[in-house]
Amino acid sequence: MRKPTTGRDVAIVTGASHGIGPHIARALAADGMAVVLTGRSVTQLEALSEELRALGTPATAVPADLTRGEGPARVWAGAVQAFGHVDVIVNNAGGDPIREFDQMSWDENHAILALNLLAPVELTRLALPHMLARGRGHIVNISSLAGRMGFPFTEAYASAKDGLIAFTRVIRFDYRDRGVSSSALVLGVIRGAGQSQRMSDEAGLPVPSLSVPAEVVGRAVVRAIRRDVAEVVVMPGPGRLVKAVMDLFPAFGPWMNRRSGATATLRRVMERRRAPARRGRDAPTTGS
Ligand SMILES: NC(=O)c1ccc[n+]([C@@H]2O[C@H](COP(=O)([O-])OP(=O)(O)OC[C@H]3O[C@@H](n4cnc5c(N)ncnc54)[C@H](OP(=O)(O)O)[C@@H]3O)[C@@H](O)[C@H]2O)c1
């Protein structure tokens, strides 16, 4: 989607309160877009909104819990109320508790699927009539190599993230000739901010060597929108080729996980999180 000749594009960024999301919001603002920031952490959203406004970017915070039925509708209504139109949605909010799958309940798996898959589907569904009427729109879905890499203890998360890639492709083919396109960003391990960095810190282990700084994701989102790229694999080296090799050789991802240190980190995180849960204390619900 090219830049408008007059005015600004307006972008909704989910998961904008911490992690990779603020990097995406800053990159969109630097590209000239107005931004609608959402997540549950009101203070962080307001702080980022203020930071961007001080730099001349129109920005507003619309807090919402995207695992709740009314969450996506609240975000959509807040964005339209603030700016009158929306051109871009970056479905970035996501996360996983890193638990053994055989220990998980229906509700826990449902929450993971709601956050990582259903919320992007619903936000897109809400936006489509508006975007089609204007003949202009781009949906960016932040997915993961989780399904291809076979990261341990991420069964529901991996299925949601692979589902998001399929969703992106079909939306793209169904609506692109009417002005609304879609891109999937398939992230490998990201360092400097976000869940991988937090898990490495929690495990007391270094971030896996095959990782990419969080700022790169922001720039990749802008490129995907402006050049209308179907799929970007964000990892060191020839990402799309590596992803294709993982499809051809399903044992390759787990082998890379062991070599890069991802398996050790995830196992240590799973064990640390399992311990307090067994003693009856709260376990983390998403993300870290
Ligand atoms: N970091 C990586 O290495 C990596 C790798 C592959 C893919 N990804 C993907 O990249 C995206 C961003 O991940 P991240 O690493 O930045 O994760 P993160 O640091 O855990 O941040 C997650 C974001 O999602 C929001 N969020 C979580 N639960 C929510 C809920 N119920 N309702 C609304 N918002 C919610 C959080 O905000 P609140 O807590 O304020 O709600 C936060 O802004 C995710 O889709 C993730 O799957 C990340």
What's the confidence (pLDDT) of residue 277?
Answer: 52
Entry pTM: 0.95
Spatial CB neighbours of 63, under 8 Å, sequence gap ≥ 6: 38, 39, 40, 41, 42, 45
From the CA of 98, how far away is ligand 1's center (Å)? 13
Q: What is the C-alpha to C-alpha distance for residues 205 and 86, in angstroms, rounded to an integer?
A: 41
Pairing between β-strand 88-91 and β-strand 59-61 as defined by DSSP bridges: unpaired
The one catalytic residue in 153, 157, 167, 175 is: 157
Cα(4) to centroid of ligand 1, in Å? Answer: 29
Cβ atoms of 12 and 38 within 8 Å: the answer is: yes
Q: What is the pLDDT of residue 175?
A: 98
Per-10-residue mean pLDDT, the chain, length 288: 94 98 98 98 98 98 96 98 98 96 96 98 98 98 93 96 98 98 96 94 86 96 98 91 91 90 91 68 41
Q: What are phi and psi of 184, to 5 degrees?
A: -105, 130
157 included as an active-site residue? yes
Dig out the tokens for 135 from the structure: 């003949």
Which atom of ligand 1 is closest in space to residue 217's alpha carbon? 10
**Rounded to whole angstroms, how far apart are CA atoms 238 and 255?**
18
The strand pairing partners of 142, in sequence order, are: 185
- Residue 284 has what pLDDT? 37
- The rounded distance, in Å, linking the Cα atoms of 43 and 63 is 10
- pLDDT score recorded for residue 276: 58
